[in-house]
């Protein structure tokens, strides 16, 4: 359900467009350049701090370089000494999921909450010295490219020729033809829908903040759904052939067997509730590299006292989604009673709840408090 007053209000992040205008005219349709989308934005961390993140075991990072027209990709975590050996140009450091490790990055993503959390992937931050970049390429997802430190020249093309450089470790376009070109200053932002070819080139040292949105393929969704469904299937009966007759060719798979197995498989059914459960689990499940930090050892009484004083917030790595009264957190599913729906809805939408929810007795529910305490111990939530 949308808030019409907010959907129709112009916002600076979108260059004075309303959310409704942006979604109707640009989202997944055409690029949008916004000068000073976030006025005064200089970035959230320094190049050295970004390199420090790339040295962490639980951070996904890549180092892209080109030498003698050959592209190379190295995956982190990196040793600090690796950065000391880098040349003055022709490389780019990319760090995924910065919003999981930097509170300011998580707050930045909140400005893009007009796109459902179910579509949000993460915040990637890249650094490149002068003339650095990852070559002309296209993405299969929507992305907002927000300029931090320095300048970056963006060239884009809506060309149909998406043929790639053979044997390259990246999807580098073989025949890129520039159609539009801009230099982005700190605070400027470029939105690109899927499959718009683009090429970013640093002008001096430059950092770019990429807000990406996941778009799984039909094949991926089907494969994951079938994996999910197999644990929920309850088909009865076994293969049987009491009327079996001798075949001319014993190695042949007979017509009768094919028809019987096809009939058994045709009994596979699923309901909208199965699709809801699948999407909730699939979209909230943490990526394999994500590790939650254990919280302080508080017993339930101490935990409840702090709730009434400070409230509660989702960890930056936590994803909470819902449909109706069914909620999902980090791949776990649970249903909430009608009396608690307002609480859980705010928690999922705002990613935090204030102490007023706990200090007036309206949520004195042992099962709820036990659930929140378990999540606290697992690192899913934190005392705000």
Mean pLDDT taken over the chain: 94
Which of the four pLDDT bands, split at 50, 70 and 90, describes residue 310?
very high
Which of the four pLDDT bands, split at 50, 70 and 90, describes residue 30?
very high
Question: Which residues are CB-contacts of 116 (< 8 A; sequence separation ≥ 6)?
Answer: none
Structure-token match 């249903």, residue found? 335
260 close to 314: Cβ distance less than 8 angstroms: no
Residues in the chain: 384
For residue 361, what pLDDT is reported? 66
For residue 365, what pLDDT is reported? 82
For 104-135, the pLDDT digits (tens) are: 999 999 999 999 999 999 999 999 999 999 99
SS3 232: coil
Closest CA to 199 of 92, 110, 350, 100: 92
Q: Dihedral through CA 353, CA 358, CA 361, CA 363, nearest 10?
A: 60
Assessment of whether the complete model's pTM goes beyond 0.85: yes
Q: What is the mean pLDDT of residues 1-30?
A: 88
Residue 1 has pLDDT above 80, yes or no: no
Residue 284 has pLDDT above 70, yes or no: yes
210 close to 186: Cβ distance less than 8 angstroms: no
Euclidean distance between CA atoms 112 and 187, whole angstroms: 15
Residue 275 has pLDDT above 90, yes or no: yes
Residue 3 has pLDDT above 80, yes or no: no
Residue 276 has pLDDT above 60, yes or no: yes
Euclidean distance between CA atoms 382 and 357, whole angstroms: 15
For 172-225, the pLDDT digits (tens) are: 999 999 999 999 999 999 999 999 999 999 999 999 999 999 999 999 999 999
**DSSP code, position 286:** P
User: Within 13 Å and on the Cβ side, how many CA atoms surround 262?
Assistant: 7
Question: Which residues are CB-contacts of 157 (< 8 A; sequence separation ≥ 6)?
Answer: 176, 177, 178, 179, 180, 196, 197, 198
For the ranges 98-112, 341-355, 360-374, the lowest mean pLDDT is seen at: 360-374
148 close to 186: Cβ distance less than 8 angstroms: yes
Which of the four pLDDT bands, split at 50, 70 and 90, describes residue 2?
low
**DSSP code, position 294:** P
Residue 344 has pLDDT above 90, yes or no: yes
Q: What is the mean pLDDT of residues 156-160?
A: 96
Which of the four pLDDT bands, split at 50, 70 and 90, describes residue 384?
confident
For residue 4, what pLDDT is reported? 61
Which of the four pLDDT bands, split at 50, 70 and 90, describes residue 69?
confident
Asked if residue 110 has a cis previous peptide bond (ω within 30° of 0), the answer is no
% of the chain with per-residue pLDDT over 90: 90
91 close to 64: Cβ distance less than 8 angstroms: yes
């Amino acid at each position: 359900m949308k808030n019409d007053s907010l959907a129709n209000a112009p916002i600076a992040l979108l260059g004075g467009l309303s959310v409704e205008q942006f979604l109707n005219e640009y989202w997944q349709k055409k690029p949008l350049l916004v000068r000073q989308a976030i006025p005064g934005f200089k970035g959230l961390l320094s190049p050295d701090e970004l390199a420090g993140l790339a040295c962490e075991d639980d951070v996904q990072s890549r180092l892209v370089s080109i030498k003698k027209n050959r592209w190379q990709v190295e995956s982190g975590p990196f040793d600090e000494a690796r950065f000391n050996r880098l040349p003055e140009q022709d490389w780019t450091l990319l760090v995924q999921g910065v919003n999981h490790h930097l509170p300011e990055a998580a707050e930045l993503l909140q400005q893009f909450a007009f796109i459902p959390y179910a579509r949000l992937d993460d915040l990637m931050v890249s650094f490149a010295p002068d003339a650095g970049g990852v070559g002309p390429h296209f993405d299969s997802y929507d992305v907002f490219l927000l300029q931090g430190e320095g300048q970056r020249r963006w060239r884009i093309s809506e060309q149909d020729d998406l043929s790639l450089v053979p044997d390259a470790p990246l999807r580098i376009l073989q025949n890129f033809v520039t159609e539009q070109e801009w230099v982005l200053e700190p605070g400027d932002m470029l939105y690109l829908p899927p499959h718009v070819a683009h090429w970013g080139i640093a002008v001096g040292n430059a950092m770019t903040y990429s807000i990406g949105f996941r778009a799984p393929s039909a094949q991926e969704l089907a494969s994951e759904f079938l994996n999910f469904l197999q644990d929920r299937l309850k088909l009865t009966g076994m293969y049987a052939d009491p009327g079996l007759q001798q075949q001319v060719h014993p190695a042949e798979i007979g017509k009768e067997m094919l028809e019987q197995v096809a009939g058994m498989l045709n009994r596979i059914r699923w309901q909208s509730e199965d699709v809801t459960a699948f999407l909730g689990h699939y979209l909230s499940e943490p990526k394999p590299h994500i590790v939650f930090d254990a919280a302080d050892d508080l017993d339930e009484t101490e935990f409840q006292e702090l709730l009434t004083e400070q409230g509660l917030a989702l960890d930056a790595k936590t994803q909470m989604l819902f449909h109706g009264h069914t909620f999902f957190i980090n791949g776990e599913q649970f249903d909430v009673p009608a009396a608690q729906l307002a609480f859980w809805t705010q928690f999922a939408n705002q990613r935090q709840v204030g102490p007023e929810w706990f200090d007036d007795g309206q949520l004195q529910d042992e099962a709820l408090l036990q659930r929140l305490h378990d999540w606290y111990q697992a690192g899913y939530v934190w005392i705000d």
